[in-house]
Amino acid sequence: MTDQANLDQYSLQDPTTQYPKPDDSWKQYQKGAGTEQEQHPKPDAGETTYRGTGRLTGRKAVVTGADSGIGRAAVIAFAREGADVVLSYLPEEEEDAKEVVQLVEQAGRKAVAFPGDLKDESYCEALIQKAVDELGGIDILANVAGKQQTQESIEDITTEQFDETFKTNVYSLFWLCKAAVKQMQPGSTIINTSSIQAYEPSPTLVDYASTKAQINAFSKGLAGQVAPKGIRVNVVAPGPIWTPLQQAGGQPTEALSEFGVQTPLGRPGQPAELAPAYVFLASAESSYVTGETLNVNGGMPTP
Active site residues: 208
- Asked if 36 contacts 42 with a C-beta cutoff of 8 angstroms, the reply is yes
- Asked if 271 contacts 24 with a C-beta cutoff of 8 angstroms, the reply is no
Closest by CA to 88, choosing from 132, 121, 43, 124, is 124
Q: Where are the alpha helices (DSSP H) in the chain?
A: 69-80, 94-106, 121-135, 159-166, 172-183, 206-226, 244-245, 275-282
Closest by CA to 101, choosing from 122, 75, 124, is 75
Interhelix angle for 172-183 vs 121-135, to 10°? 30
Q: Which residues is 143 bridged to in the sheet? A: 192
Residue 185: CB atoms within 10 Å: 11
Classify burial at 164, counting beta carbons within 10 Å of its beta carbon; exposed 0-12, middle 13-18, buried 19 or more. Answer: middle
Closest by CA to 118, choosing from 243, 33, 190, is 33
CA dist., res. 23 & res. 262, Å (int): 14
CA dist., res. 280 & res. 277, Å (int): 5
Angle at 156 between CA 150 and CA 161, to 5 degrees: 65
Phi, psi of 223 (to 5 degrees): -55, -45
CA dist., res. 102 & res. 117, Å (int): 22
